[in-house]
Amino acid sequence: MKRSLSAAALVAVAAVAFAGCSTGESGQESSEGGRGPITYAQGKDTSGELQRIVDAWNADHPDEKVTFVELPESADDQRTAFVQDFQAGAGAYDVAGLDVVWTGEFAARKWLLPLDDIDTSALFESTVASGSYDGTLYAAPFNTNAGFLYYRTDLLPTPPTTWAELDAACDVATQAGIGCYGGQFAQYEGLTVNFSEAVNSAGGAVVDENGDASLDTPEAAAALQHMVDGFTSGRTPAEAITYQEEEGRRAFQQGNLLFLRNWPYVHGLASEEGEDSVIQGKFGIAPLPGLDGPGASTLGGYNLAVSKATDNPETAKDFIRYMLTEDVQRKVLTEMSGAPTVSALYDDPALQEQVPYLATLKSALEEAVPRPQAVAYSELSHLVSTQVYSALQGKTSVEDTLASLQKDMQKLIDESADK
């Protein structure tokens, strides 16, 4: 059945059509051996570097040129464009830059080609896991991300490594007249990430290795109880119930928090001089604390996948191999302010001097855990954020919240598997 494409997808199709004459059903010139021009689609590149990286490929591959298609900045709009293109088999996107949480859904729906012939030995194992589904690699990790614990070095000489140490340090915050700990606690994907990190850092998992819900465990109970206790004890300021990334960043930069859980991008902004930050030179970064030792961050980033509808899969795979080279990955860090997936770059002394948090980021990535590879991840995340938010507000108990989540998540997982 013919399906209509969204506005974003139609724009991309038009871009491909005007890029050159086409002979294949997808609108691309195809040649023997699965080689020829392709398109690469990803969310908006605010650095401007991606086009230059593509241009360098094109200069060396005049018969296999890549057209870079920028999708909207919104992750939801990107996902809509990909879903509609893949469902229709339109072939507008040969290589797709996917949010790490989409791999499971897209692979399960058989929209992506397996990439087991891509060498990932130089990449972080955690990032490779984020692009795998049911034991097969479907999306190669291009850039990544992990959460940090930011802390005030002028108030605390060393960062906590456990929840108990963090709780004890809150006395310092009280004496300084500031809040102790902030994270992402509003009802959205960020809360799902923070809850997942807490469960993982207690030794548990939101979804187990078999793909089933795993919240009826002591580890999940300890994780949610610690989050709830943060609000009831005052360790987490009451206003943090509305925090997304930016609200927490501003509170920390303005000197109102001792600790903040956030992503690496905060480091540069908090270091800038001006009215927006009063803590230049007064903060450090560390791995997230856990129940009995250092915790585990949730993994973020973009992975590169090949559409099953492509006419030129060999070119698409070679382009992905190019994007994973050390030269391109170095530019991810130095030109795009992103986190590369090639682990050796994190040990480069010159890069460590240029990016002060590089060693800490490496430690975080080595222990990071991908978000659940669920076919219905968006629905699963909504369940988690909605019910955990209710617990943080004190509307439902920890026990009742986890029992409800376990039941509702397993039902969603079972229904998704039957489709």
**Helix crossing, 398-418 with 377-392: angle to 10°?**
170
Q: What tokens does 111 get?
A: 């929209």
Determine, yes or no, domain membership for 24: no
Return the pLDDT at 168: 98
Total number of domains constituting the chain: 2
* Domain termination residue (choose one: 367, 390, 405): 367
For residue 384, what are the domain limits?
Answer: 146-298+373-418
Span 183-237, pLDDT tens digits:
999 999 999 999 999 999 999 999 998 889 999 999 999 999 999 999 999 999 9
Tokens standing for 376?
């219905």
Do 289 and 225 lie in one domain? The reply is yes
Q: What is the largest CA-CA distance in the chain?
A: 72
Amino acid code (one letter) for 99 = D
pLDDT tens-digit map of 353-388: 999 899 999 999 998 998 887 888 989 999 999 999
312, pLDDT greater than 90: yes
Task: Return the CATH number at 121.
Answer: 3.40.190.10
Is residue 29 one of the residues assigned to a domain? no
The answer on 400 and 335 residing in a single domain is: no
Segments of 199-337 assigned E as strands: 257-262, 283-286, 300-306
Q: pLDDT digit string (tens) for 14-41?
A: 444 333 334 444 445 555 679 999 999 9
Q: Do 133 and 140 contact (CB within 8 A), yes or no?
A: no
pTM of the full structure: 0.83
